[in-house]
Amino acid sequence: MTKEAIIRKAMRILAEGREISPGVYADIDREELQDILASGASVALRELAPLRRRARVRLYRAIHVSGREQIDLNHLGIYWTWSAESPSAYWERGAGRAIIVVGTVASNDVDWLTTAALIALRSLDELEIRVRPQAPIRVLSIDDKKVVVQGRA
């Protein structure tokens, strides 16, 4: 399997929201996968170390809404970024606009292994941080309007 094929498979697995585990890569040469992940690991460790030391991590997410559609605070999603300059709505559909949600999550509610793997595989093209499903998220603002409400990933 080529490096590109391994990366495509790994990205597909991560996009499906599955965590990285040895069984997921049963048909991939483990040494080759380790080499690919190791090549990006130093970048991942350097970027994530300051975030992991915090009790809470500030998150940003763009959510596409159409018309007067409301954001479901109980399903805010697991795909976030730690960079205020990075959020973008990937799944835009039809007319509407992206609303930026700012929140915080407990550091232990971040899937650090998957987050590190995403950085290792993608480098720093996307500053994605993966939040555990149903993790409590303290929402601080929605579309630049300050609010303090509790939501869930």
The pLDDT tens digits of the residues spanning 114-150 come to 787 777 776 556 688 899 999 999 999 998 889 888 8
Note whether 82 and 60 are within 8 A (CB).
Answer: yes
State CA 45 to chain mean position distance. Answer: 16
The whole-model pTM stands at 0.69
Q: What is the DSSP letter of 66?
A: -
pLDDT of residue 106: 96
Residues paired with residue 63 on neighbouring β-strands, in sequence order: 99
Note whether 48 and 112 are within 8 A (CB).
Answer: yes
Q: What is the DSSP letter of 131?
A: B
Q: So where are the chain's domains? A: 3-152
Note whether 76 and 153 are within 8 A (CB).
Answer: yes
